[in-house]
Each structure stands twice: as C-alpha cells, then as structure tokens.
Amino acid sequence: MTIERFTEEQVGSFHRDGFLIVEEGLVPEKALDRLRERYLRLFDGEYETGIKPDEVNWVKGRDPDDRTRQICNGWRSDNLIAAQVLSARTGRLAAQLMGYRGVRILQDNVLWKPPGTKAIGFHQDGSYADYLVPPEMTTCWISLHDTAADAGPIAYVRGSHLWPKSPPARSQFHAPDDWMAGVRAAAHPGDPVEVVPVVVKAGGGSFHHNLTWHGSEPNANASVARMALVSHMLPVQARFHEHNADLIYSRYRRRGDLSLDESFFPVMWDETGYRTPWLSDLPDLEA
C-alpha cells in the first residue's frame, strides 16, 4: 500500500532527527520492475525523449566500474522516470514535512550502486544551493531494491540538520578515500556522530532536510546491486538568486527574470490543488 500522508509522530521524528525513514510504500509495487528496466537504458545512453540528462557522471567503458553510477535529471530523458520523480504524492509528503505550501522539482539523481562500488562522500545538499532563494530544499530518496546495511545505502548523521551549513566539498563527493571526512570536520569536538543507514524494502526510502549530513559507504555486499531514485524539491515560491550562479542549472534562468520556468522546474504539488499541467501527460505508474 502506498503512503498518502505522514502521522504527527513521523513529522516530529523528521524535525528531531533531520530525516525520516519510510520502510515501504513510496512507489507502486507494479512500477518497480519498469523503473529498474529504464535504468539499464539510461546508463546505455538510450534517451526516450531524445534529450540528454544534465549530468552523466558515469559512462560504460569510460569510467571505472568501481564508481557509483549517477545521472542528474534523468527525468528530462525518460518519461517513466519523470512520472516517479515528479510524483504528486512525493511532493505532498515533502511539503507536509517541511511545512511548505507547495513544492517544485530542482533536480533528480538516478543512482546505481553495483557490488564493489565506492562511496559517495558525506555532504549537505544545502551547501550547493546558494544560486537559489531561499537556498534550501528537501530530498526524497527511494530504493528500487531491498537494501542492506553493508550494500552502501544512503546513511544519515542523526541531528546534523541542526549544525551550521558547511562549504561544498566537491572533490570529496565521488569515490573519496575518506567518505566521512566532511562530517568529522563539521562536528564540534565531543559531539556524537551517529550514522544511521537506510535499510528498507524495495519501494521504501527516506526524506531528509537540506542540512542533514548524508552519504553512502562502499557497497561491500556481493549480492546486492542497489538502484535509487532521488527527488530534490524546492519550496514552490523559490527563485534564482540575482547574482549567484550554478555552472549547470543556471542555464535555465531567463535574462531579466528570476522565476523558475515550469518547463524545467515543474510544480509537483501545491495546497491550492495546482500542479504543472503537462505532468498529466506522464505515464501512469499504477497501470
């Protein structure tokens, strides 16, 4: 059964810990196989819409096999991926946790972590958002497989959303030698650093605050090849920063206009009932 709304206890847990783990029910069960099959196509460079994703951080034959495969904004390239990334349910749940009146997509991550792949370094999503106003987001991470603690699932530092924002550490993001270096540098001496891996069933996952420290250790499990689909969501009223720019995503800013164009940053859910109209053309994940 899919989840439609969180309890007061779950919302309280999110604000206390900086994350909320949802064991199952974030994706319709019948959609899981279809989504996994689309991963294979995307990482083979097969783009249903004819549009290349904004970032392709792993290419077969070009990059080492021990790297976590990542595509950013795969939703632009594949309509089935878009149907899940831009789900109204995901948007509504994120808005409930953050107290937003609505949310729009910023970016997705299509992640594939076969056995033997290296870590993703610990970081704060909000460190990379200074080109936006407000410079914040909330994130939904969904696993398309049953996860295991030794298979490199996303992991959080409990309560770290209450720490200050740190500068982005881009060199420590992909396959770092020390995946927790950023956390140790950010933590005050004597502060507890409790790392919580997200162990869920296929279709389960988590939501986290933009200041929560998170990453994923190497996949040491020889039998689990983990695929995860991530939606980074902004408050619906978000705008581009007048001066700060991002090397990739500021390309979607129109000259003289700081608004976020719904062709590229569609509204997933709004308390008024509004949702970007073209989203109704996406495939039905329940079918």
Could you report the per-residue pLDDT of 41-77, keeping only the tens digit for each?
999 999 999 999 999 999 999 999 999 999 999 999 9
pLDDT at 26 over 90: yes
pLDDT for residue 192: 81
So what's the pLDDT on residue 191? 79
Residue 170: per-residue pLDDT:
63
Rounded to an integer, what distance in angstroms lies between the CA atom of residue 112 and that of residue 36? 10
Q: Taking the domain 8-281, which CATH number applies?
A: 2.60.120.620
User: Is the confidence at residue 131, as pLDDT, over 70?
Assistant: yes
The per-residue pLDDT for 182 is: 87
153-156-158-162 Cα dihedral, nearest 10 degrees: -160
Chain centre distance of CA 243: 26
The pLDDT tens digits of the residues spanning 94-124 come to 999 999 999 999 999 999 999 999 988 999 9
Identify the residue with better confidence: 170 or 89.
89
| Tens-digit pLDDT profile for residues 188-210 | 887 789 999 999 999 999 999 99
CB 129 within 8 A of CB 246: no
What is the predicted pLDDT for the residue at 5? 95
* In the chain, domain spans: 8-281
pLDDT for position 168: 83
Residue 171, pLDDT score: 55
* DSSP 3-state of 56: strand
pLDDT score of 172 = 66
Mean pLDDT value of segment 140-167: 94
User: pLDDT tens across 232-274, in order?
Assistant: 999 999 999 999 999 999 999 999 999 999 999 999 999 999 9
Residues 6+ apart with CB under 8 A from 91: 102, 103, 233, 267, 268, 269
Separation between Cα atoms, residue 180 and residue 122, nearest integer Å: 6
pLDDT digits (tens, 9 = 90+) for 1-23: 788 999 999 999 999 999 999 99
Average the pLDDT over 77-89 and give the result: 98
Q: Is 221 helix (H, G, I), strand (E, B) or coil?
A: coil
Q: Write b or e for each residue in 171-189: b if 16 or more Cβ atoms lie within 10 A of its Cβ, otherwise e.
A: ebbbbbeebbebbeebbee
Q: What one-letter code names the amino acid at 261?
A: D
Supply the DSSP string of 65-131, one letter for each residue: TTSPEEEE-GGGT-HHHHHHHT-HHHHHHHHHHHT-SEEEEEEEEEEEE-TT---EEEE-GGGG-TT
Whether 125 shows a pLDDT value over 70: the answer reads yes
List phi, psi (to 5°) of 228.
Answer: -140, 145
Distances (CA, A) of 234 to 94, 104, 139, 160: 9, 5, 9, 20
Is residue 260 a contact partner of residue 134, using CB atoms and an 8 Å limit? no
- 3-state class (DSSP) for residue 250: helix
pTM for this model (two decimals) = 0.95
